[in-house]
Amino acid sequence: MPRYIVERTFPSGLHIPCNSDGAGACLNVVDQNAQGSVTWVQSFVSMDKQKTFCVYDAPTPSAIEAAADRTGLPVDSITEIRVLDPYFYY
């Protein structure tokens, strides 16, 4: 399955509460993604909480876009990636 970085912008910042509401919001994204064989692997959030860089496994970029439409999440860009391990050369 191809792996992608999905860049998102949240002008007002990304605010996910650290409680059951936040957990429910994340699980909703996971459930909506699964409808299109999309897996949210991990996300990185900028210090100002306005940008996220999310790692996804998905069959195609359009599957990620469809999942984002279902969840109402923004998508700035989708880039297919490969792993480069710096310790490979040692």
pLDDT tens digit sequence for 2-59: 999 999 999 999 999 999 999 999 999 999 999 999 999 999 999 999 999 999 999 9
CATH code, domain carrying 45:
3.30.70.3090
Residue 86 clears pLDDT 90, i.e. is over it: no
pLDDT at 87 over 90: no
Summarize the confidence of residues 70-88 as an average pLDDT.
Answer: 93
Query: pLDDT tier at 89 (50, 70, 90 boundaries)?
Result: confident
Domain that holds residue 75: 3-89
* Residue partners of 12: CB distance under 8 A and separation at least 6: none
How many structural domains compose the chain?
1
Nearest to 42 by CA among 32, 57, 28, 31: 57
What span, in angstroms and rounded, lies between the C-alpha atoms of 19 and 36? 27
Confidence of residue 81 (pLDDT cuts 50, 70, 90): very high
> What residues have CB less than 8 Å from 51, skipping those under 6 apart?
7, 8, 9, 10, 45
Cα distance between residue 40 and residue 55, in whole Å: 6
